[in-house]
Amino acid sequence: MGWDKHSYGYHGDDGHSFCSSGTGQPYGPTFTTGDVIGCCVNLINNTCFYTKNGHSLGIAFTDLPSNLYPTVGLQTPGEIVDANFGQQPFVFDIEDYMREWRAKIQSTIKRFPIGDRLGEWQAMLQNMVSSYLVHHGYCSTATAFARVTDTTIQEEQTSIKNRQRIQKLVLAGRVGEAIEATQQLYPGLLEHNPNLLFMLKCRQFVEMVNGTDSEVRCFSARSPRSQDSYPGSPSLSPRHGSSNSHVHSTGADSPTCSNGVMSTKSKQSHSKYPTLSSSSSSSSSSSPSSVNYSESNSTDSTKSQQHSSTSNQETSDSEMEMEAEHYPNGVLENSSTRIMNGTYKHEEILQTDESSMEDSCPQRQLCGGNHAATERMIQFGRELQMLSEQLCREYGKNTVHKKMLQDAFSLLAYSDPWNCPVGQQLDPIQREPVCAALNSAILESQNLPKQPPLMLALGQASECLRLMARVGLGSCSFARVDDYLH
């Protein structure tokens, strides 16, 4: 090795290094049986050094090409070598060497000259952070940030809070209510986005299987909190409806209940698609249900039809704030309660006799185990099939729709949908992409960016690093975007 063209080698018999030549250069000590020889190729500066028994012997070659392959030359018959490509710890402290180079690369990034544009860049970053907070509905935080940084929020706070509430409905599995709230607050949005409407309806069917959507929840004699995978959601049964409406709408009178969403007789949605209506509307009591929320930092005590100056303050502490609680993939855990995908258990319930432990944890059932709810789910599925067929006639075949519908309907083929090949659909985390798609569509309908500039910038930076790695720029290995997000 090293004698042939484009080959490089370190020989044990004389300790010389060879670079495309039969004439070697003095480099290091000789090595023999029992020695551990390492070879480190640095793709950042295109150099190579060898190690002997964990000690670096210094740079052997420079200006190396990127397409190198490891080779070992054996001279005596019966010789054996053990090759370690990282499956075992190296004798040489490669981690310390990598830390050294990581620090060099990060220092180069930090020393990048900004010059006179510092103020301009700071203003740009502040606007990006502000738009990110607004995009995800962090209304109070965005307001506080704008006040401190003297930035302007492009969207009205009422609109931000409306989007926030719709997102919370989707994340709570109450998709039917989210659809109605969207139709009420943003008329025509879903009708002009049939793909989004179909996605929402398929998700609503999944939530009906899960027992979380109000289409099936309203059939229960009571509205147990056990179905809520996300905290902060009130009872969904119309008879338990609150008189407090948080949906910002004007000109509404004579409210009626449908899926737990405040609607009006004067404003009705006229969709050209088959109506997937709620069979529970006729069973509503005279007290209208509404979209309301309870949070750890919420002290909302306003009453229906009452709009005091306090309740209209955009930065009031009584306003619902999504960042008030942390939802790790739809699961909230603390010392007193545990909420996990349709199961709500108080600590006192868990503190039972071991012999009755199984009885205290009943198996989840389709639509909460209610026969009427199951019938409603099947009817909803028929209506969803009709919607799919109409969209197919109007826009042609759609393989994505077909797969979405098949996956949703496949849940009914199993006695335990939560533990089946397609059961991942019931995981609360699957609500997040649906929530993001609806939020982006609402923003786009208001002539606002459907993606926050901060996320676009991060995506572009990550893609840039991937392209650098593809062309062999080794320094990108130590320039991770995540390192600069803390």
| Sequential pLDDT tens for the chain (486 residues) | 888 888 999 999 999 999 988 889 999 999 998 999 999 999 899 999 999 999 999 999 999 987 888 999 888 888 889 999 999 999 999 999 999 999 998 888 888 887 777 778 888 889 899 999 999 888 889 999 999 998 888 888 888 999 999 999 999 999 999 999 999 999 999 999 999 999 999 999 999 999 999 888 887 644 443 334 333 333 333 333 333 334 443 333 333 333 333 333 344 444 555 555 444 333 333 333 333 333 333 333 333 333 444 444 443 333 444 444 443 333 344 433 333 333 333 333 333 344 433 444 456 788 878 888 899 999 999 999 999 999 999 999 999 999 999 999 999 999 899 999 999 999 999 999 999 999 999 999 988 888 898 889 888 988 998 898 888 788 888 888 887 776
- Answer yes or no: are the C-beta atoms of 280 and 237 closer than 8 Å: no
pLDDT of residue 418: 92
CA 150: distance to chain centroid?
A: 30
- Contact, 173 vs 213, CB < 8 A? yes
Do you know the residue count of the chain? 486
Angle in degrees, 0-180, between the axes of helices 157-171 and 139-149, rounded to the nearest 10: 140
Q: In what order do the strands lie in the sheet with 343-346?
A: 331-333, 337-340, 343-346
Show the tokens assigned to 129.
Answer: 């952070």
Q: β-pairing, 343-346 with 337-340?
A: antiparallel
User: Alpha carbon 292 to chain centroid distance?
Assistant: 24
Among residues 120, 12, 156, 133, the alpha carbon closest in space to that of 73 is found at: 12
Contact 122, 130 (CB under 8 A): no
**pLDDT value at residue 27:** 95
Pairwise CA distance, residues 285 & 303, whole Å? 18
Structure-token pair, residue 321: 């704030």
pLDDT of residue 276: 56
Which single residue is written with the structure tokens 């099947």? 378
For 369, other C-beta atoms within 10 Å of its C-beta total 13
Question: Distance between CA 91 and CA 89 in Å, rounded?
Answer: 7
pLDDT of residue 312: 42
Single-letter amino acid, residue 443: L
Phi, psi of 346 (to 5 degrees): -80, 155
Q: Note the pLDDT of residue 273.
A: 57
Place of tokens 């100056």: 309
Q: What are phi and psi of 457, to 5 degrees?
A: -65, -40
Query: Tokens in use for 110?
Result: 């930090």
pLDDT of the residue at 271: 52
Rounded to whole angstroms, how far apart are CA atoms 383 and 276?
6
- The pLDDT, as a whole number, for residue 486 is 62
Question: What percent of the chain is helix, strand and coil (3-state, nearest 5)?
Answer: 45, 10, 45
Report pLDDT for 17: 94
User: Are 274 and 390 spatial neighbours (Cβ–Cβ below 8 Å)?
Assistant: yes
Which DSSP symbol is given to 363?
Answer: P
Q: Helices H, strands E: what count in the chain?
A: 12, 11
Cα angle for residues 375, 377, 383 (degrees, 5° grid): 110
